[in-house]
């Protein structure tokens, strides 16, 4: 039985990820977030779930929560200090498998007119690139996935993986599909070992997402 901690368990992706993990796997979940005990009350009586009120900018919170976990999921990889704290806590607790959600463009990999539109919308990437480098250089068995523009669509679990170094052209992907990807990795932790991958919805190679 895998023990999985979600750091940022109240995120928009976690909304779909938590029930999927509970329904499709036998893993034990630790849901870590600010005011998790107030915001995730629907899980408080589930014997497979532990709720922890914590802040990923607080090293002590992470150190005590990551102990004995098998997989760590970080809901955003955009913050330098938080990434440094998570990596430190994992190494201290001898936890090696890390899954990090991030945005596209950190390697200047977004192609064509979509790339131009994305750069205009996102602005300065300096801090985000530095934050991603913390994960890239961590020495952990990480999987950093760079999501295209997110939207919600029930029952749309379609995703396509774009390997690092290849241009990223797909303009969008659903949060439900991202939850599917994370669940697939929890079910088979050997997938995408020590990799940064792009995640897009197939057949969405447009100038910008359909919802803009």
pLDDT in tens, 158-204: 999 999 999 999 999 999 999 999 999 999 988 998 899 999 999 99
pLDDT in tens, 96-137: 999 999 999 999 999 899 999 999 999 898 999 999 999 999
Domain that holds residue 14: 3-200
Structural domain includes residue 207: no
**Rounded Cα distance, 184 and 18, in Å:** 13
Structural domain includes residue 210: no
pLDDT in tens, 17-65: 999 999 999 999 999 999 999 999 999 999 999 999 999 999 999 999 9
CATH code, domain with 149 = 3.40.50.720
**Rounded Cα distance, 164 and 105, in Å:** 11
Structural domain includes residue 63: yes
Structural domain includes residue 53: yes
**Rounded Cα distance, 1 and 24, in Å:** 13
CB atoms within 10 A of CB 33: 23
Structural domain includes residue 208: no
Whether the model pTM is above 0.85: yes
CB atoms within 10 A of CB 45: 7
Q: Which of 28, 31, 26 is nearest to 41 (CA)?
A: 31
The answer to whether the beta carbons of residues 76 and 8 sit under 8 Å apart is yes
């Amino acid at each position: 039985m895998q023990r999985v901690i979600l750091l940022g368990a109240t995120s928009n992706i976690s909304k779909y990820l938590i029930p999927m993990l509970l329904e499709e796997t036998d893993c034990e979940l630790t849901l870590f977030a600010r005011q998790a005990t107030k915001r995730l009350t629907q899980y408080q009586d589930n014997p497979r779930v532990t709720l922890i009120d914590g802040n990923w900018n607080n090293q002590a919170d992470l150190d005590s929560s990551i102990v004995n976990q098998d997989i760590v999921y970080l809901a955003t990889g955009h913050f330098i200090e938080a990434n440094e704290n998570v990596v430190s806590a994992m190494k201290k607790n001898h936890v090696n498998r890390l899954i990090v959600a991030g945005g596209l463009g950190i390697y200047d990999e977004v192609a064509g007119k979509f790339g131009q539109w994305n750069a205009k919308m996102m602005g300065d990437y300096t801090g985000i690139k530095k934050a991603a480098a913390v994960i890239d250089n961590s020495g952990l068995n990480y999987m950093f996935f760079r999501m295209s523009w997110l939207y919600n669509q029930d029952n749309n679990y379609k995703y396509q993986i774009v390997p690092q170094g290849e241009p990223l052209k797909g303009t969008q992907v659903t949060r439900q599909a991202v939850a599917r990807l994370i669940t697939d990795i929890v079910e088979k932790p050997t997938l995408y070992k020590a990799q940064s991958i792009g995640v897009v919805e197939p057949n969405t190679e447009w100038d910008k997402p359909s919802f803009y």
